[in-house]
Structure 1
Amino acid sequence: MFYEFRIDLKTKRAIERNIEIMGEAMFRILKVDSTFKIKNARKIVDTRNRIIHGYHGVSEETIWSIAIRDLPELESEIDDLLEGARQ
């Protein structure tokens, strides 16, 4: 799957763009509540900044790892927060 990802520029850019959006959202949340309970909140913002500003680049391997490992974990954390808010 990684090979297909590497050659699919549209998918790579879409994932990068969504990481940028999540990083911006997290940045805004942290400005309001610096104790917000997302494990890698600061890393999400930092990754957004690296993508947007091109700091040291972000490798295809890193983007792939975020997509297949970190995003499902983040989704689970957000689901837990939403469930707790409903109770």
Structure 2
Amino acid sequence: MSAETNSPDGQEPLYVPALGTLMVDTGHGNRTGEFRGLAGPYWSLRPVAGGPEWEAAPEHVRTPTPAERLTAENARVNARSRRGPAW
């Protein structure tokens, strides 16, 4: 699921990913994070293993390759296992 918003110049609608979509920020060293929402003209991303969100320019964000997706999912599982059970 995704949404569209109007572009700043009013021309073409911009693609906005669904919450939780895995994305790669090429403007910040190919950091991988989950899309968390809009922050003005930027997209808010959160590391998959936890940590503070950061803002990324949408033109510098892309979908991950299969290898990047696997690495991110592995980081998420490892981070979850370090925290222990949730009971």
Q: TM-score, normalised by structure 1?
A: 0.36
More strand by share: 2
Q: Relative contact order (C-alpha < 8 Å, sep 6+): which is higher?
A: 1
